[in-house]
Amino acid sequence: MPKLSLEKIALINQSDSYITFPTDIGNIEPLIFEANVNPSFVIRKRKDSKLMAILTPQIIIRMYNEYSYPVQTPSYIPQISVFYLLNHKSELEYSVLFGRLAHHSNGQDGEFYKEDGSINLESGNFSTNFIELGLIQTDFSKTLKAIKTLKSSMEIHPKYWMQDELQGSYSGLRWHNAFTSFKFPLNKLTNQNRARFSLKAETIFMLDNYNNLKMLDLERLNAKLTFYYHPKFLEDIGFFVQFYHGMDYYNIYFQHQISVIRFGIMTEILRF
């Protein structure tokens, strides 16, 4: 039977490091790849601590399938997350509170708008800071023979933490929900310390008033579904397929609405 810990629950809550293949299906610009570089540095006093933190210098990079294969305005999202063990009923049943402080920018200092009034995607400055507060609940499904986690949180971008050009056009209040399931071959003949399959469903709903959208407008909803498979012949990486629909999360491209199916490889950070 696999076992959980506060550290593993915290790592489940981090975004995965991955690189996509140049086979995206959808309305995103043609890419050679998109990469999410997100190492996790654990900060704690000892392994059995109820309180711990994770520092992550996250960077998202897109290389475009254009002349000279440019990499434009990477997303820099350094963050620190704090986790507190609220309740621990069994080896797989946990309740954890968490908070996150993060910065999101593109490392540019040009004017936000071009002379024609359109957004300067190549060198326009994009910068915001936010906090996220939420709860993670874990359990084991005997029916599915899988570990499952539920996360719900609120992401807040205070106006004085957001650059002026983003106010009114970039959502500063977001409700996150996520469901993750890790499938194990649970039999006595298998000594498996990692999940062969995992599934993660995520939604973000924008709650504040921006772009004059109605409260039930579908543009307020971001949805992502990721399926991951770890074959036996690979040690630390596996393959994934992902569907995403909603606001483009790549910094200053936020006004684009994209629907895309992508494939790639993903690192495995969890070993049970």
Q: What is the mean pLDDT of residues 118-127?
A: 95
Highest mean pLDDT among 87-96, 185-194, 196-205: 196-205
Question: Would the pLDDT of 193 be above 50?
Answer: yes
Question: Would the pLDDT of 21 be above 60?
Answer: yes
Q: Of the ranges 27-31, 83-87, 138-142, 226-230, which one carries the lowest mean pLDDT score? A: 138-142
Q: What is the pLDDT of residue 272?
A: 44
Q: What is the pLDDT of residue 146?
A: 84
Question: Would the pLDDT of 50 be above 90?
Answer: yes
Q: Rounded to an integer, what distance in angstroms lies between the CA atom of residue 223 and that of residue 203? A: 5
Q: What is the pLDDT of residue 182?
A: 86
Q: What is the mean pLDDT of residues 233-258?
A: 93
Q: What is the pLDDT of residue 268?
A: 67
Q: What is the pLDDT of residue 188?
A: 45
- pLDDT-derived band at 190 (thresholds 50, 70, 90) equals very low
Question: Tokens 């000594």 map to which residue?
Answer: 191
Q: What is the pLDDT of residue 233?
A: 81
pLDDT digits 0-9 by tens, 144-155: 778 899 999 999
Q: Rounded to an integer, what distance in angstroms lies between the CA atom of residue 163 and that of residue 169? A: 11
Q: What is the pLDDT of residue 270?
A: 55
Average pLDDT, the chain: 91
Question: Would the pLDDT of 192 be above 70?
Answer: no
Question: Would the pLDDT of 53 be above 90?
Answer: yes
Query: From start to end of 11-158, where are the E strands?
Result: 18-20, 25-26, 31-37, 41-43, 51-64, 75-88, 94-105, 127-141, 146-156
pTM of the shown model? 0.91
Q: Which CATH architecture has domain 6-267?
A: Beta Barrel (2.40)
CB 128 within 8 A of CB 170: yes
Q: What is the pLDDT of residue 236?
A: 77
Q: Which of 46 and 192 is assigned the larger pLDDT?
A: 46
CB 202 within 8 A of CB 236: no
The percent of residues in the chain predicted with pLDDT above 90, rounded, is 76
Highest mean pLDDT among 86-90, 165-169, 265-269: 165-169
Question: Would the pLDDT of 195 be above 80?
Answer: no
Q: What is the pLDDT of residue 185?
A: 61
CB 244 within 8 A of CB 227: no
- pLDDT-derived band at 111 (thresholds 50, 70, 90) equals very high
DSSP letter for 201, please: E
